[in-house]
Structure 1
Amino acid sequence: HEGVPDDSNCPTFATCVLFVKNRLWAGVPFIFKAGKALNETKAEVRILFKDVPAGAFAFDDKPLPRNELVMTLKPAESIYFKTNVKAPGLANMPIQSELDLSYGERYPDLYNPDAYTRLVLEVLRGKQATFVRSDELLEAWKIFTPVLKQIEAGEIPPVPYVFGSRGPKESDELVSKMGYKYNKNYDWQTAHMENKE
C-alpha cells in the first residue's frame, strides 16, 4: 500500500484464539480479530452456536446454517439473533431470519452518545464499570507482549493482506479450524416474500 515501506513489519492485523481454563468454558474458542485498512470498520461480538440437527427440515440433505447471536457495538449499535425458521407458506422450507433490536431504528428520536462521550461521563461520575481492571490489563499484556517482541525481532514474519480486504486468508483458515462457519450467503428477508410452492 502507498506510504508503507516494503520491509515494514508493523503489526496492523491480528487474529487470535484464546481458551479459558475452567470447566464451564473448556474447549470453547474465543476468537479475536482486529485490523487496519479492512473492508469495513466495525466492532462486534458474535456467538456462534453448535450445529443444529435438521429436525423439521430433515427431508433436505443440506446442513442448516448455525444460529448466531450478534452484538454490534460500532458503527450502529444493535443486537440480533440469526436463527432458522420455517418460511411462510405451505412448503416446509427453512430460511434464516433475525430477531433484531437495532437501537437507531427502534429509538430514532433518542440521543445515543458515542462511546467516548459515555467514557468521559463515567470518569466524571467516578464509575469504573466500563474500564478494564488493572489485573485484566496485566493478563492481556502477558499474552501479547511476547508475541509483539517476536514480531519486532523478525522471528514471526507478518502475513501481508490487501488493503480494503477482510484480511489475510490465513485468518479465515484459522477461524475455520476452530469451527467457525462464516455464513456469507445470509440475506435479510423482507416482509414480502414470494410464495415459491
Structure 2
Amino acid sequence: MVVNMNLRKRKQSWKENEEEIDKNGLHLYIKTSTGKGRGVYAGKAIEAGEDICRYQGMVQETDPADEDDTYVFEINFKGKKLWVNATKEDDTFGRLINDNHKNPNCRAKVFESDGQPQIVFKATRYIQKDEEICYNYGPGPYPWRTKVVSLYIFSTERRCCMAAHNRFLKMKDGSMEDINL
C-alpha cells in the first residue's frame, strides 16, 4: 500500500542500481509519468514472469501512515502485518512504480531472504520497451483514481452557474444536487 507519492527531484546517480538491474538482463529508467510524477519504464522488452526489480526499504512493525511524504508497502509476512518504508530517497526503482488498477503489467511478490521479507515485482504480461511499469496498489482511497468530470452549466431558470464534479452539482448558492453524468 502506498500512502503518499513524493514529487521531489530525484538525484541523478543511478549507476549502482543500473548495474544490479543489468545483471538480471533488465534495463529500467525513470521519467515523469503524466499525472503521476516520476515513473519507472522498461528500457527493453520484458517477458511475462520475469523479475523486474525489488521494492527496498526499512521494515517496520508499526504503520508509518501518519508521517508525511511516505512511500510505504504493507505486507503480511509469517502471519504478521509489516510495512516496508521506502520514503528515503535512494537509487532504487521499486519505490517509483506507479499504480494502475485497471491494466497493471506486474505484481508484487513477497519472499524470505536471510529471515527478512523481500518484495520483488514480476511481469504479469509482456511489457514493451518504453512502457511504464505499473501495478495495482490494491483497494484504497487513492485520489488519482477518482474520475473528476467538470461541467459548467448556466441556468436561466435559476439565474446562476453550476459546476458538476463527478455526480454532484454544486449550485452557486452552495447547495448540492445529485446527478448522473
* TM-score over 0.5 for the pair: no
Q: Which band: TM-score by shorter chain? A: under 0.3
Give the number of the structure whose residues are more often helix, by fraction: 1
Which structure shows the higher strand fraction?
Answer: 2
